[in-house]
């Protein structure tokens, strides 16, 4: 009987000890939680316009300069890419994401969390209000609150006229007959690991286009017009663009004015080669070109008098050995 009584008392004490341990566990976890939260980097901030007013609905993105990728593609669109690494919270450098994005609230505020250690790029973009960028800041060493000021929106507009119709195969339909896509990229390349710019726009049936908002501080750009082939898109026109001149001299290219150059591109067996990009550079720096049709024929229009350099390139699909 005594043994049973001691066993009952021991059991009661054991249950009590376990209850105390279970009750105290949440307290210990909650006490540890702030330390774990602090180990995840965060950037807070706000986005304002050039008058200092907060702007809501702005896309904000960050990217680690080594492992992430941040691209501004025009029309207020940001694209962020990057892997996430999550090993153990104590290994802070290996915990978090290489890229994070969000949207500002009604007060223009944003908070981006779970950021991997190391320098990052920060960008904000809005299709009407403009864009803003900050390159190379460290959320731990430099600052955790930033202010992004959207520059006054700048748009590049213009018209490309006199584009000849070019018929390819029936399968290509209208895709190969139109200059339907244009890209704006800075003439000077971005610094290593900085935000990249590849703003794009569509060209209407009347040849008109509008691209932007373009970031402030970059004046010299190049407009590249693509034409689609069966397997790829090729740049068949390049136009140097200075933004500071656009207010007085909008981009206006009339390919109907000038001379024509036509011919046939053939292969080593005298066979006609389709989908060959044929280009030449005018004296004003504008590169004009076209693509060969199914019979290898090409026609370049809008050329000026003088000596021209003709270049032909073709995309080739190869199979790796082995």
Beta-carbon contacts of residue 111 (< 8 Å; ≥ 6 apart): 42, 43, 44, 102
Would you say residue 91 has pLDDT above 70?
A: no
Q: Name the pairing type of β-strands 120-126 and 59-64.
A: antiparallel
pLDDT value at residue 202 = 83
Identify the residue with better confidence: 87 or 205.
205
pLDDT value at residue 57 = 95
- pLDDT, tens only, 33-77: 333 434 467 889 999 999 999 999 999 999 999 889 999 988 889
Would you say residue 150 has pLDDT above 60?
A: yes
Average pLDDT over every residue of 244-266 = 85
pLDDT value at residue 227 = 73
pLDDT value at residue 105 = 96
pLDDT value at residue 172 = 44
- As a whole number, the mean pLDDT across the chain is 77
pLDDT value at residue 29 = 30
Domains (range + CATH), the chain? 41-149 (2.60.40.1120), 156-314 (no CATH)
CA separation for the pair 57, 55 (Å, rounded) = 7
Give the closest residue to 274 by CA, choosing from 253, 255, 291, 254.
Answer: 291
């Amino acid at each position: 009987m005594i043994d049973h009584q001691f066993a009952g008392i021991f059991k009661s004490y054991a249950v009590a000890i376990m209850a105390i341990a279970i009750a105290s566990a949440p307290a210990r976890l909650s006490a540890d939680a702030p330390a774990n939260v602090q180990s995840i980097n965060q950037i807070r901030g706000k986005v304002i316009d050039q008058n200092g007013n907060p702007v809501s609905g702005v896309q904000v993105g960050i990217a680690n300069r080594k492992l992430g990728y941040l691209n501004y593609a025009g029309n207020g669109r940001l694209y962020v890419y990057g892997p996430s690494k999550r090993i153990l919270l104590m290994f802070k450098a290996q915990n978090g994401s290489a890229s994070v994005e969000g949207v500002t609230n009604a007060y223009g505020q944003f908070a981006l969390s779970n950021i991997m250690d190391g320098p990052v790029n920060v960008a904000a973009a809005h299709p009407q209000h403009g864009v803003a960028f900050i390159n190379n800041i460290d959320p731990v060493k430099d600052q955790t609150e930033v202010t992004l000021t959207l520059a006054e929106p700048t748009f590049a507009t213009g018209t490309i006229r006199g584009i000849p119709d070019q018929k390819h195969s029936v399968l290509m339909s209208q895709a190969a007959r139109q200059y339907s896509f244009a890209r704006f990229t800075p003439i000077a390349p971005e610094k290593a690991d900085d935000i990249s710019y590849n703003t794009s726009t569509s060209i209407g049936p009347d040849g008109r286009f509008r691209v932007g908002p373009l970031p402030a501080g970059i004046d010299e750009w190049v407009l590249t017009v693509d034409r689609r082939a069966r397997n790829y898109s090729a740049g068949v026109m390049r136009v140097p663009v200075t933004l500071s001149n656009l207010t007085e001299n909008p981009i206006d290219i009339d390919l109907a004015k000038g001379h024509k150059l036509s011919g046939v591109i053939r292969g080593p067996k005298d066979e006609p080669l389709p989908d060959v990009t044929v280009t030449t550079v005018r004296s004003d720096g504008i590169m004009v070109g076209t693509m060969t049709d199914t019979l290898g024929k090409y026609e370049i229009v809008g050329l000026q008098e003088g000596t021209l350099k003709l270049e032909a390139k073709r995309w080739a699909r190869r199979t790796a050995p082995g």
